[in-house]
Amino acid sequence: MSVQGLFSQGLLLLAGFVHLLTGGLTDAHLTRMLAAMLVVIFVNLLHPRRAAYLPMAVYLALGVMDPAMLSFAPLMLYLCLTLPDAPWPAAAPGLLLVYHYRHVDMFLGVILLAALLLRYKDDSLARMQARYFAAVDDSSERATRQQRELSSMQHEQETSVKLAVAQERNRIARDIHDNVGHILSRSLLQVKALSLNPADPDLKRNLDDLHDSLATGMNAIRHSVHNTRQDTLHLDREIQALLDGFAFCPVQYTNAGGSELSLNHKYVVMAVIREALSNIMRHSNATHAAITLSEMSGSHLLLISDNGTNSKAPQGQGMGLAAMEERVRGLGGSVHITTDHGFRILLTLPKENPL
């Protein structure tokens, strides 16, 4: 029972006692007042269980035997309107008033009307408070969800930038390897050919020195390109960073693969994971997700799943599942998506030599 309800009951109890005192103050009136207070206490203690009908039945029995108990009928009417199956329980005080209709006066009628108005006011206030708290809860939940989505989108954007930078670094490294490396290799062959039968010993020595310098530069370029390509994307580190920024639900990541993925495969794996996490956040009620990277004899496997019960596979979100499948097929792989028992993606990529 709310504080407002208890206050209304106190007012009606006081009004009933005042009505009772119109016949003078006697010990019997004090006993009736005490009995009414006990009924109110036990009804509130047992509310909202059906056991609350028991003290109300005691009051009705007392009212049948003692018409003076009618003074508390408005209070009992208010209480009956709070019981389970209301408003039908309110018929009991009404029948008692009909049974003792000769003892009903205008003062009691006014108190009865006040009881109905107080019940209506308290119900309206309770509904208003319920709507207010529901709105506050919805607003808080919506704000929390939007904050999680914003955080995940920001981290997704940062990851996309990192991937774009990594791809550009890889392209530059490949261009250096293909263009500059080819030129240096050709220069080495030309210098070596010129130094085979030189007429001047000083020229031969200079050509050998030039050959050694070109060879040293060639090795340095090969080493730099190799490091650039290998350091472009640390898969476990990038996946963990992506999961650290995913606040929608806990995600367990397991890398059971024994061999290194190629750089192209790493990009695809990261893109698939980002798209899957985005779909889980936007279209699933999952409380847990799992990402497992493993391998078979000729392929790498990526399994992403959650425990959601309303998972969907929408189109056109982020990279999009359709675009993701097309990108995977371009590498000779396949994607299998199911939503029967939660969102589930199985990605298969053929093995190839790491770049």
Q: With cut-offs at 50, 70 and 90, classify the pLDDT of residue 317.
A: very low
The predicted-structure confidence for 42-68, as pLDDT tens digits, reads as follows 988 888 888 888 988 898 899 889 998
Domain tally, the chain: 2
Which residue, among 2, 82, 10, has the nearest Cα to 49 in the 3D structure? 82
Residue 47, number of CB atoms within 10 A of its CB: 16
Residue 290 has pLDDT above 90, yes or no: yes
Bridge partners of 344?
305, 338
Predicted local confidence at residue 303, as pLDDT: 92
Residue 147 lies in a domain: no
**Model confidence band, residue 117 (pLDDT cutoffs 50, 70, 90):** very high
In a domain, 179, yes or no: no
More confident residue, 202 or 70: 70
Q: Which of 75, 104, 133 is at the close of a domain?
A: 104
DSSP string, 4-68: HHHHHHHHHHHHHHHHHGGG---HHHHHHHHHHHHHHHHHHHHTTSGGGHHHHHHHHHHHHH-GG
Query: Helix or strand or coil: residue 164?
Result: helix
Q: What is the per-residue pLDDT for 311?
A: 61
Q: Does residue 170 form part of some domain? A: no
> Helix or strand or coil: residue 117?
helix
- The whole-number pLDDT of residue 318 equals 43
Query: How many Å apart are CA 66 and CA 221, to the nearest integer?
Result: 109
Q: Which of 118, 115, 121, 128 is nearest to 72 (CA)?
A: 115
Q: How far, in Å, are 76, 149, 319 from residue 219 at the CA level?
A: 98, 47, 39
Mean pLDDT of 247-272: 82
Highest-pLDDT range among 85-89, 150-154, 196-200, 237-241 = 237-241
> What is the CATH classification number for the domain harbouring 283?
3.30.565.10
In a domain, 204, yes or no: no
pLDDT grade, residue 222 (50/70/90)? low
Query: What is the predicted pLDDT for the residue at 23?
Result: 74
pLDDT tens sequence across 166-184 = 777 777 777 776 677 667 7
Q: How many CB atoms lie within 10 A of CB 196?
A: 8
120-175 per-position pLDDT tens digit: 898 888 889 888 888 888 888 888 888 877 777 777 777 677 777 777 777 777 77
Range of the domain at 280: 234-355
Residue 354: band (very low, low, confident or very high) from pLDDT cuts 50, 70, 90: very low
Residue after which a domain boundary falls, among 104, 122, 141: 104
Q: Provide the pLDDT for residue 353.
A: 53
Judge whether residue 316 has pLDDT over 50. no
Of all residues in the chain, the percent with pLDDT exceeding 90 is: 14
pLDDT at 219 (0 to 100):
73
270 lies in some domain: yes
Q: Which residues contact 46 (CB under 8 A, 6 or more apart)?
A: 52, 54, 55
The yes-or-no verdict on residue 96 having pLDDT over 70 is yes
Two structure tokens written together for 97: 């008033």
d(CA 73, CA 70): 5
Domain termination site, one of 42, 72, 104: 104
Is residue 231 over pLDDT 80? Answer: no
State the number of CA atoms in the 13 A half-sphere of 250 facing the CB. Answer: 3
Per-residue pLDDT, 177: 65
Whether pLDDT at 295 is above 90: no
Does the residue 141 lie in any domain? no
Most confident of 38-42, 84-88, 350-354: 38-42
What average pLDDT does this structure show over 80-91?
Answer: 78
203 located within any domain: no
For the chain, what is the mean pLDDT?
81
Average pLDDT over residues 283-310: 88
Instruction: Give me the residue label for tokens 């020195």.
Output: 209
pLDDT in tens, 6-45: 888 899 999 998 988 887 788 888 899 999 999 999 988 8
pLDDT at site 201? 77
Give residue 11's pLDDT: 92
Alpha carbon distance 83, 88 (integer Å): 9
The predicted model gives 189-197 an average pLDDT of 72
